[in-house]
Amino acid sequence: MSLLVTIEEDFGQALKTKDQAGKSTLRLLKAELTKKAKAGREVTEADVLQVIKSQIKQRQDSIAEYDRAARQDLADQERRELEILQRYLPPAPSAEEVSVAIDTILAGLAEPERANFGKVMAGVMQQLGGAADGGLVSQLVKQKLQSSE
C-alpha cells in the first residue's frame, strides 16, 4: 500500500475518532502534498517522504523555539504532531549501517580527502535512500575523512 493511501486512511480514521492532533497534522500534510501535486506532476513516494521530512524539520524547529520561550504547552503539541509524522518514515539506518555505507563510498575514491566531502555525502544519502539522518551522516563522514588524512 502506498504511503499516500496510508495517510488518507489515517486521516479518515482521525476524523472518525475525533483525534484533534492527528486530524490537524494530517490535514496540513495533505495540503502540502496537494500543493506539490498542483505543481504539475504526479506525487511519488519520494515526494511524499520529502514533504514528511520537511514537516518534521519544521516541528523540530518549533519545539526548540517553544522550549526557549518556556511555552511547554505549545512544545508538547508540536511533539505530538512530530510523533504522528514520524510514523510515516521508514526506519532510519543505524550508525553502524551508515558507517559501512561511508566506507563503501570512500573505497571507490582515489584519495579520500576533505574536498570529497560533498561527493561522499551525496553517495551515502543516495545509497541509503535518504532514510538516514543527514546530521549523523555528516558527522561520520567528517570523522572518517579526518582519520584518513
What's the CATH code of the domain at 25?
A: 1.10.1510.10
The model's pLDDT over 18-77, given as tens digits with 9 standing for 90+, comes to 989 999 999 999 999 888 888 777 888 888 888 998 999 999 999 999 999 999 999 999
Quick one: 105 and 80 in the same domain? no
Quick one: 75 and 112 in the same domain? no
Instruction: Look up residue 71 and give its three cell numbers.
Output: 511555552
pLDDT at 40: 76
CB-based burial label for 48 (10 Å; 0-12, 13-18, 19+): buried
pLDDT at 23: 93
The model's pLDDT over 74-123, given as tens digits with 9 standing for 90+, comes to 999 999 999 999 998 888 888 888 888 888 887 777 666 666 778 888 88
What is the tally of structural domains in the chain?
2
Rounded to 5 degrees, what angle do the CA atoms 43, 44, 50 make? 90
Domain that holds residue 127: 95-148
pLDDT at 149: 62
- Which of the pair, 142 or 81, is modelled with greater confidence? 81
Quick one: 82 and 118 in the same domain? no
Quick one: 77 and 13 in the same domain? yes
